[in-house]
Amino acid sequence: MRFDTVLLARDAEGLFWMARYLERVENLARLIDVTQSFESPGYETQAWFGLIQINADEKNFEKRGFSPDATHVKRFYLLDKGNPTSIPANIEDARTNARTLRPLMSTEMWRQINVFHRFVSRILPEDLEGDALSRLCTKLKDGVQAHTGITEGTLYRDQGWYFYHLGRVIERADQTTRMLDIKYTTMLPRDGEAKRVAELTQWNAVLRAGAGYHAFKRHARAMFSAEDVVDFLLRDPSSPRSALLCVRRAEAYLEDLRRIYGLSRANEPMEVAEYLREILTEKLISHILATGLHDYLDAVQIQLQRLAAAIGRAFFRDWRPDEGQFPAETLDASQSQSQSSGSAQTAAPDYPAGGKAEALA
């Protein structure tokens, strides 16, 4: 006998954002670890400031009085709780969402996120130096992966499971494109063989940041090119962090929500996801590199933002874009959650995830 219950819109939103916040933590830990491992003498500032650019944090970084060097970038992302894109802030937001989701979560999930939150809150300045930083990043990645494994093993496979994974794959695709964009445009300006060696080193760093180094090496040529790496990160059908695989999974989750649970409002986000998949597959990578990878990745990121916004409009509690600040068609949905996270989330009406008028059977 199967008992299907209505999922409240606020719970769907909470699961969606909890997954996104934790995905950001792992991604940022990977980027910090790889940046330290592959920074080139004389280019340290450029390498570390790339992290600020990936997260579009230039204004916030300057506003908080930091300078673009390794020490301040590490403090900004690993210690500064007032920075909304920092690891402590993302863990705090994930735990805030988890608290409201306690009736839906397993005991193991709740316990693990609390232990992880406590660990992050105890990070000290001395943990950011030398080998200690690499060990810290490993523990951060392990913490998120432990959460992922426990969630896979214990979270009930109802509508909430789909919203959790929608948040995860959208965030993952977005982070992959941001990382690729910044790293590609900041390759070290050298000539001849030195340029070739530097580029191979940088591309290896990009692959490691995307958790794809070993998988890529299984298939790539010995003297791989930029085209090979870009194709792998954007389009590989088996790499868990490729943008295309993430979008295909988002399509599958939305289709299941519509087919299994009768959520007809999945139609709009499904159309956006389908269009995004076409953007990711229609042109040759060689053509994209020749005409401008940056502009292409900008277009992909805008469509990912549109997808998150479409999901928000379709399913979440009174979700509205702030059109005065962000055009509706390019709104970054993370801005909406940042403005409404915490206690504001619990103040929302208890509408079903299908919207006020759509009660789910």
The pLDDT of residue 194 is: 59
Q: What is the pLDDT of residues 97-129, one digit of tens each?
A: 999 999 999 999 999 999 999 999 999 999 999
Distance CA 123, CA 140 (A): 11
The stretch 68-87 carries a mean pLDDT of: 95
pLDDT band at 319 (very low <50, low <70, confident <90, very high): low
Task: List pLDDT tens digits, range 238-282.
Answer: 999 999 999 999 999 999 999 999 999 999 999 999 999 999 999
Round the average pLDDT of the chain to a whole number and report it: 84
Tokens, residue 268: 């709009």
Measured distance CA(78)–CA(68) in Å, rounded: 15
Question: Which letter, b or e, does each residue of 124-135 get, where b requires 16 or more Cβ atoms within 10 Å of its Cβ?
Answer: eeebbeeeebee
Assigned token pair, 93 = 């937001």
**Range of lowest pLDDT (52-61, 152-161, 217-226):** 217-226
Q: Report the pLDDT value the prediction gives residue 195, as an integer from 0 to 100.
A: 62
**Residue 360: is its pLDDT beyond 70?**
no
- Distance CA(243)–CA(105), nearest Å, equals 28
Q: Tell me the per-residue pLDDT of 133-151, one tens digit each, with 9 for 90 and over.
A: 999 999 999 999 999 999 9
**Side chain identity, residue 163:** F
Q: Where are the beta strands (DSSP E) in 28-97?
A: none
Q: What is the pLDDT of residues 179-193, one digit of tens each?
A: 888 777 665 455 556
CB burial string 45-69: b at 16+ within 10 A, e below: eebbbbbbbbbebeebbeeeebebe
- Split at pLDDT 50, 70, 90, the class of 44 is confident
d(CA 64, CA 230): 34
